[in-house]
Chains A and B, each alone.
Chain A
Amino acid sequence: APSPVLSAVPAERARGRRAALSFAAIAVVLGLPLWWRTTETYRAALPYADIDGLGQLPFQLAVPVAVVFAPGAVPGDLPKPLPFKDVQEMETSVNRERPLQLSLRLLSLLGEADAALCPLQDASLGALTMYVVPKTSSLLPQGISVYVGKHRGALVRAGGGLAALRTRLRQLTQVMSFTTSSIAAALSDRVPDGQLGPDARRHLKSSLGYEITFSLLNPDPKSHVVDWDIEDAVNRYVQPVLDKLSLVANFSVDSQILYYAILGVTPRFDKESSSFLLSAHSLPHVINPVEARLGSSAASLYPVLNFLLYVPERSHSPLYIQDKDGAPVSTNAFHSPRWGGIMVYNVEAPASPQASLPLHVDVDMVRVMEVFLAQLRLLFGLSREELPPEFLLESPGSEGLADWELDRLLWAHTVENIATVSTTLTSLAQLLDKIGNIVIKDDVASEVYRAVASAQSAMAKLATGHLHSAFQASKEAVTSSERAFFDPSLLHLLYFPDDQKFAIYIPLFLPMAVPILLSLAKIVRETRQRKKEPTKMD
């Protein structure tokens, strides 16, 4: 008799079925969750709503202004009793698409000249003190009705009623703290082009630090041996300004001498003046070839401000820069927004043509530094705007900038920082939302939370007029948001395409899945048959 096939034995078949079912059950109950758990990308929760909110919130900036009246300067229609608080609001919207609206609030504390009421100068950043002097006072020169000092104080000549005084004070506050245009310039990256003046994009972007590099370009070392006492010049002229600006950012200064570094354009020879000319429209092409030689700021991530002193080759001297109208530029220098400045320093031709080469040149650093410092102010947006003739501004002296100019910078940078944080976080959130493969680690998430909290606190501080703490908070927010955005752990699994996933899983799962699925299919088929069989019997 033929021995029965093993599977034909009913007990064996039942056992096989049970085995197949238990394998399938183990695979589903244990295997699938395990696989799911181990291959899951870890994504910590992020405050998406708060990040969205940051972009929606309007900026509210408040300038605390203390107004001190000299005896006899109090306007007649001033409500009594003194002191009292007067809030002036001014609303402007910078961007129509996003409600980035701005409300400038002037908190005016009006009081009479009283040593007990008003300390002479409010020392805190951003707080202004205005002294109203009687109309006939000889403190101010004839024809001048507003005098702005080196610090955070100003003298205003009384006149007219309270309304006139208010307009005057508002005007003065805008000079000394911020205007709509200065805030709009700070937000220039987020504002459509048409609404901005030509100068808006000139300013350096807010950063935690800047590197200032002075480079002496000597394209012709065979004919000119150029020496500059940059160390002394930096200590004498640049350092005081930077000490003042140290509140805004960290600065580092260095210098180098580059040989055989040439400008990218060949200057035109002008027969009349027997000199060489660089026209204004060719200036944009000057920088690029030089830039390749300047060297990267590999050791830090801060933006670099370049100031180049170019000593033209002997065959191209003297060299003059022409402005758009063809007139020579008196300083023989130009600046490039957000990059730096270039000055051409001509070497006087030797008296006798037989003078032996190389010619020794000692650079007059006073002349050079004057130009570079003016360019530095321009790059930071500290240029003084056109003011009505009755305004008199005190010159900042050796420090290079007045206290209130520093405030202006801080106001603008704080607003810019907050806007930067908001954009950084929004794009990070969008990116994480779009690509599910990105791992969000806990420390990245905590940096995001910290950035949001700091930005919110900076905005709250701005609204109450605490400029210094608002700026510090905005700096922290920038640091945290950048750290989160550039965290290398975000990239780990970013490039993990789906086809590769299948390429890995199929060899693993196919050998296991095929028998399980086949046996399951077989069991299903058999049960279906068995269900049919009894009907047949009937």
Chain B
Amino acid sequence: MAAAAAALLLLLLAAAAGPGRVGAGRARRDALREELLLSPLPAGDVAATFQFRTRWDADLPRGAVSHYRLFPKALGRLVAALGVQELHLALTQGFWRTRTWGQPPLQAPAGAELWVWFQPTVTDVDKAWKELSNILSGIFCASLNFIDSTNTVTPTASFKPLGLANGTDHHLLRYAVLPREVVCTENLTPWKKLLPCGSKAGLAVLLKAERLFHSSYHSQAVHIRPICRDASCLAVSWELRQTLTVVFDTFSSGQGKKDWSLFKMFSRTLTDACPLASQSKVYVDISPKNKEKELLEVTPAPASVYEAIVQGDKRTYAVYDLLSPSLFNTSRSLNVQLKWKRPQDTELPTPVLHAQRYVSGYGLQTGEISTLIYNTHPYRAFPVMLLETVPWYLRLYVHTLTIITKGKENKPSYIHYQPAQDRRRPHLLEMLIQLPANSVTKITIQFERALLKWTEYTPDPNHGFYVSSSVLSALVPSVIAMKDVDVEQSPLFTSL
């Protein structure tokens, strides 16, 4: 009875709220947060990660909404028209050196990567996928239109929806990587255009193409996913996350000094926050290394310091809030500078998991793909899921698949292999492998090159053939238990 009364009350409230919305100043149903994380890497590199999160309290795919404010119309229409549940697109130039730089804040393989979950209402997923990649190709000026059945796979276990999802029917998932894709200015401009403030105000002012592409690593991404609107999770909101990671080699460009500043890296400084953003912050990683006292000095002095535990490490971040009026009182612009008090060559502790891959063998007929996965944890074993997509013209010999750990054969506990069909689909190999503590696991598989028709050779044959990166998903048990915090409020680096 009490429950019925409560439900009735709720209905009444909803009815009352309906017409009231139109009259008074309408509540904003969308919000933008911008963040920049600057973290010094060993050997004098600096990683800058931008994140722009647009959140919209609207039920996008129903097609009922067509009035956009902060959320870009081009992407909104795409999601609505093609029944996209979740979309992840990353365009990357260069490799993230996990071994020396540590785990990246945002993972992306070299080239273009696109993976999409479609809604269960989509009947012809392949058609929607084709259409989607063509439209995205137009929006981002990238060669995503080359995504077709020969490089698309449907992984069964490696990918999970990152947003709200009722089920995980893998038939609704499509994954493709174009390892050849070169990322350049023409991809950055449309990406910037999706930001409500463009590159006119806020953190995006720093995104100057000539500096961003003069770097060791550049990765830009777009993620769209549905999230809970509030703690009760009765309604769905849509989140668009635009991220951009860039690694500058300040050591070689700064005459042997590791000191850096915003101006040195981006040749711009920050003058204001985007007026549409409800949050605009710059974080600088000033965690002391080796338990010693402060080695580095940031100017201007940060208004606050944030401490967080990231991947088991305690980190300290200097926080600059661009929305706080006091920040621009003293000087008109913010140019964060970092100076090392004394030279230091501390290495980051090697990350727990990292991997490398190479092709061995000689000649043009046969070869062998070798993957080395390192687990450096002193006492913990990890199960990892390895996904390999190999183009059809490399004919894999599955019987030559060997997995060797510490000189012994390691049998995968789950294996899913879908053989290639010539000119139709690529090889898909998924394996769940147990990595013992402090070990190196070597996975090898032999292949033979198929004879290609003359039209099938890619341009610039001197490049050879590209094979897309494999995907390594691991369940790394966090040192801290997952806390029930509002993820929406937490800054970029804790969302890993």
Residues of A within 8 A of B (CB): 213, 221-222, 227, 229-232, 234, 252-257, 259-260, 292-293, 295-296, 298-300, 358, 360, 504
> Interface 1/0s, chain B 187-219, versus A by CB < 8 A?
000000100111011000000000000000000
Residues of A within 8 A of B74 (CB): 295-296, 298
* A358:B275 contact, CB within 8 angstroms: yes
Q: Which of B64-72, B94-102, B331-339 is found at the contact surface with chain A?
A: B64-72
Closest CB of chain B to A191's CB: distance in Å?
34
Q: Which of A257, A292, A293, A296 contacts B69 (CB 8 A)?
A: A257
B73 within 8 A of partner (CB):
yes
Distance of A358 Cα from B272 Cα, bound (Å): 15
Residues of A within 8 A of B81 (CB): 299-300
**A222: nearest residue on chain B (CB-CB)?**
B275
A256 and B73 in contact (CB under 8 A), knowing A231-B67, A299-B78?
A: yes
Distance of A295 Cα from B195 Cα, bound (Å): 12
Residues of A within 8 A of B193 (CB): 292-293, 295
User: 27 pairs across A/B with beta carbons < 8 Å?
Assistant: A221-B197, A221-B275, A229-B22, A254-B67, A254-B73, A254-B77, A255-B67, A256-B67, A256-B69, A257-B69, A259-B197, A259-B276, A260-B198, A260-B200, A292-B193, A295-B72, A295-B73, A296-B74, A298-B74, A298-B78, A298-B139, A299-B77, A299-B82, A300-B81, A358-B275, A360-B25, A504-B454
B138 within 8 A of partner (CB):
yes
Given contacts A257-B68, A293-B193, A296-B74, 13 further A-B contacts (CB under 8 A): A227-B25, A231-B67, A254-B66, A256-B67, A259-B198, A260-B198, A260-B200, A260-B201, A298-B74, A298-B138, A298-B139, A299-B78, A299-B81
Distance of A238 Cα from B275 Cα, bound (Å): 32
Which of A227, A234, A298 has the largest count of B CB atoms less than 10 A from its CB? A298
* A252:B66 contact, CB within 8 angstroms: yes
Closest CB of chain A to B114's CB: distance in Å?
15
Residues of B within 8 A of A253 (CB): 66
Interface residues of B in 137-182 (CB under 8 A from A): 138-139
Closest CB of chain A to B205's CB: distance in Å?
11
Residues of B within 8 A of A (CB): 22, 25-26, 66-70, 72-74, 77-78, 81-82, 135, 138-139, 193, 196-198, 200-201, 272, 275-276, 454
Residues of B within 8 A of A298 (CB): 74, 77-78, 135, 138-139
A-B pair count, CB < 8 Å, reads 66
Closest CB of chain B to A154's CB: distance in Å?
39
**B201: nearest residue on chain A (CB-CB)?**
A260
Residues of B within 8 A of A256 (CB): 67-69, 73
Closest CB of chain A to B358's CB: distance in Å?
35
Residues of A within 8 A of B196 (CB): 259
**A223: nearest residue on chain B (CB-CB)?**
B275
**A228: nearest residue on chain B (CB-CB)?**
B67
Closest CB of chain A to B274's CB: distance in Å?
8
Residues of A within 8 A of B68 (CB): 254-257
Closest CB of chain B to A494's CB: distance in Å?
12
Residues of B within 8 A of A299 (CB): 77-78, 81-82, 135
Closest CB of chain B to A301's CB: distance in Å?
11
Residues of B within 8 A of A360 (CB): 25
Distance of A488 Cα from B247 Cα, bound (Å): 42
* A296:B139 contact, CB within 8 angstroms: yes
**B66: nearest residue on chain A (CB-CB)?**
A254
**B455: nearest residue on chain A (CB-CB)?**
A496
Distance of A409 Cα from B276 Cα, bound (Å): 43
**A298: nearest residue on chain B (CB-CB)?**
B135
**A254: nearest residue on chain B (CB-CB)?**
B66
**B72: nearest residue on chain A (CB-CB)?**
A295
Residues of B within 8 A of A293 (CB): 193, 198
Residues of A within 8 A of B72 (CB): 295
Residues of A within 8 A of B200 (CB): 259-260
Distance of A299 Cα from B66 Cα, bound (Å): 13
* B66:A232 contact, CB within 8 angstroms: no
A255 and B139 in contact (CB under 8 A), knowing A260-B197, A298-B74, A299-B77?
A: no
CB-based closest 6 A-B pairs:
A254-B66, A260-B200, A256-B68, A256-B73, A298-B135, A255-B67
Residues of B within 8 A of A292 (CB): 193
Closest CB of chain A to B15's CB: distance in Å?
18
Closest CB of chain B to A185's CB: distance in Å?
31
Closest CB of chain B to A256's CB: distance in Å?
4
Residues of A within 8 A of B139 (CB): 296, 298
Distance of A213 Cα from B67 Cα, bound (Å): 9
Residues of B within 8 A of A300 (CB): 81
Residues of A within 8 A of B70 (CB): 257
Residues of B within 8 A of A213 (CB): 73
Residues of B within 8 A of A255 (CB): 66-68
Closest CB of chain A to B426's CB: distance in Å?
22
Residues of B within 8 A of A222 (CB): 201, 272, 275
Distance of A535 Cα from B66 Cα, bound (Å): 99
Distance of A60 Cα from B68 Cα, bound (Å): 46
Distance of A127 Cα from B344 Cα, bound (Å): 90
Closest CB of chain B to A18's CB: distance in Å?
36
Residues of B within 8 A of A260 (CB): 197-198, 200-201
Distance of A148 Cα from B300 Cα, bound (Å): 76
Residues of A within 8 A of B77 (CB): 254, 298-299
Q: Which of B26, B198, B201, B275 contacts A227 (CB 8 A)?
A: B26
Closest CB of chain B to A220's CB: distance in Å?
9
Which of B22, B68, B78, B198 has the largest count of A CB atoms less than 10 A from its CB? B68
Distance of A298 Cα from B275 Cα, bound (Å): 29
Residues of A within 8 A of B272 (CB): 222
Residues of B within 8 A of A227 (CB): 25-26
Residues of A within 8 A of B66 (CB): 252-255
Closest CB of chain A to B127's CB: distance in Å?
14
Closest CB of chain A to B446's CB: distance in Å?
30
**A232: nearest residue on chain B (CB-CB)?**
B22
Residues of B within 8 A of A254 (CB): 66-68, 73, 77
Distance of A298 Cα from B70 Cα, bound (Å): 19
Distance of A155 Cα from B276 Cα, bound (Å): 58
Distance of A161 Cα from B82 Cα, bound (Å): 64
Residues of A within 8 A of B26 (CB): 227, 229
Closest CB of chain A to B417's CB: distance in Å?
32
Residues of A within 8 A of B82 (CB): 299
* A230:B67 contact, CB within 8 angstroms: yes
**A214: nearest residue on chain B (CB-CB)?**
B67
Distance of A421 Cα from B398 Cα, bound (Å): 55
Closest CB of chain A to B166's CB: distance in Å?
25
* A296:B275 contact, CB within 8 angstroms: no
Closest CB of chain B to A338's CB: distance in Å?
21
Distance of A360 Cα from B28 Cα, bound (Å): 13
Distance of A507 Cα from B74 Cα, bound (Å): 51
Distance of A292 Cα from B190 Cα, bound (Å): 10
Closest CB of chain B to A242's CB: distance in Å?
13
Residues of B within 8 A of A257 (CB): 68-70
**A231: nearest residue on chain B (CB-CB)?**
B67
Closest CB of chain A to B287's CB: distance in Å?
36
Distance of A232 Cα from B196 Cα, bound (Å): 23
Which of A222, A232, A256, A358 has the largest count of B CB atoms less than 10 A from its CB? A256
Residues of A within 8 A of B73 (CB): 213, 254, 256, 295
**A493: nearest residue on chain B (CB-CB)?**
B455
Which of B22, B25, B69 has the largest count of A CB atoms less than 10 A from its CB? B69
A296 and B67 in contact (CB under 8 A), knowing A222-B275, A227-B26, A259-B198?
A: no
Distance of A474 Cα from B72 Cα, bound (Å): 36
Distance of A332 Cα from B68 Cα, bound (Å): 25
Residues of A within 8 A of B201 (CB): 222, 260
Distance of A256 Cα from B275 Cα, bound (Å): 17
Closest CB of chain B to A184's CB: distance in Å?
36
Residues of A within 8 A of B78 (CB): 298-299
* A296:B197 contact, CB within 8 angstroms: no
Which of A222, A227, A232, A260 has the largest count of B CB atoms less than 10 A from its CB? A260
Distance of A358 Cα from B274 Cα, bound (Å): 13
Distance of A230 Cα from B201 Cα, bound (Å): 26
